[in-house]
Amino acid sequence: MAKQFHELRERLLRAGVAPRHVRRYLTELTDHFADLRAEEERAGRSRADAESAALLRLGAMDDLAKAMIEQRQFQSWCVRAPWATFGLTPLLLLAGAYFVALFILWSGWQMFLPGAVTPFGHRVNGFVNWYFQAGRSIYFGAPVFVGWAIALTAARQRFSAIWPTVGLVLTAVIGCMARVHATPPAVPGGIGHVGMGFSLWPSARGSLLYALVILALTVLPYLVWRFQKALSLTA
Amino acid sequence: MAARETNPNFMNGVPELLILRLLQQEEMYGYEIVQAIRSRTDAVVAVGEGVVYPVLHGLEGDGALTSRRRTVNGRSRIYYSVTPAGSHRLADLSETWANLAAAIQKMLTGGQHGEAIP
């Protein structure tokens, strides 16, 4: 029975049914199957016969799959709008992460380095160091975490590689081109500003190398998962 | 063992109607619902038992049903019950079905242009 339910799960996911709907459907089918098997056993059937009868009463796998696939409300957003899931959402997540990183940089500058013309290049210790490192980690980690989110989403939905690849490449390119800059206060004692731009400066080669690192870090877990999946199917 | 025969085209909307009717009386979980449909229709209405869940989930998604998890005899079950929106839907479906059944009955028993079927 586990094999049939496994096949049903794969079929539903590949057809675009959202993982949470698939999980719940299979949980209820498993419970229902157990009830039917118990009922058949109470009627005097052997365990094997009871399982066969229960499976028959539950319905053909084609019918069970079709009943879910036909209802559009069970479709995941990956399938309904892949451009939004793998294109727009990563951009918004990156924008949000960069905003938080910039805010940490700017607020740290105002709180811990008042009067400094730039938040960069200062030797700081203790909590202040942790504060700035948190922002730095978010800034550098964001493309990788967003890439992992894309890979995880694609893997959970058994999605084909095209749209996830678009999302991963987009994330890596933005990650490698993002540059933070600080504008000193216009007047002594004023408030400076931090901002963000996108360029290949100072080194196109270095930027591309960084893009490849991001891509490798995010694509590798996805490739390993696909490889394992392929192995399990051939086994 | 032969596969259980169903009448899917004619059954469109019927499982929904029966489920709403049953759940209006008391909350039930999937297995109970299927057994209740079978016993109360004298097994005339036959559905692949697993197919009841997409109908339940669909009704829940539409706001006609609500569900909650309960542990009974050591087993966790998802119980369904009808919402006010579900009651309205049941009333609409019942009316539609009653009209349809009356029309078919009229057709079978003669009507304006037909003849009674012995």
A132-153 per-position pLDDT tens digit: 999 999 999 999 999 999 999 9
Give the CATH number of the domain where residue B80 resides.
Answer: 1.10.10.10
Any domain includes B66: yes
In whole numbers, what is the pLDDT of chain B averaged over residues?
83
Whether the complex's predicted ipTM surpasses the cut of 0.95: no
Q: Is residue B70's pLDDT more than 70?
A: yes
Q: Which residues pair with A187 in a beta bridge?
A: none
A158-203 per-position pLDDT tens digit: 888 899 999 999 999 999 999 898 888 887 777 888 999 888 777 7
Can you tell me whether residue B116 is helix, strand or coil?
Answer: coil
Any domain includes B104: yes
A71-128 per-position pLDDT tens digit: 889 999 988 999 999 999 999 999 999 999 999 999 999 888 887 888 888 888 899 9
For B77, the token pair is: 């079950």
pLDDT at A187 (0 to 100): 79
B-interface mutation test, from A33, A42, A56, A76, most B Cβ less than 10 A away: A56
Least confident of A2-6, A74-78, B80-84: A2-6
Any domain includes B118: no
Any domain includes B2: no
Determine if the peptide bond prior to A202 is cis (ω within 30°): yes
pTM of the predicted model as reported, rounded to 2 decimal places = 0.78
The gap between the terminal CA atoms of chain A, to the nearest Å, is 18
Q: Taking Cα atoms as reference points, which of A201, A179, A192, A216 lies closest to residue A101?
A: A179
Where do the domains of chain A lie?
2-74, 78-234
Per the model's pLDDT, the better-predicted residue between A80 and A230 turns out to be A80
Question: How far is the alpha carbon of A125 from chain B, nearest alpha carbon, in Å?
Answer: 52
B11-29 per-position pLDDT tens digit: 577 889 999 999 999 999 9
pLDDT at B113 (0 to 100): 54
Please give the distance of CA B71 from its chain centroid, rounded to a whole number.
Answer: 25
Domain containing residue B77 = 14-108
Our count of domains for chain B comes to 1
Any domain includes B46: yes
Residue B118: other Cβ atoms inside 10 A: 3
Give residues with Cβ within 8 angstroms of A99, minimum separation 6: none
Which chain A residues contact residue B4 at CB under 8 A? 56-57
Are B61 and A73 a contacting pair at CB < 8 A? yes
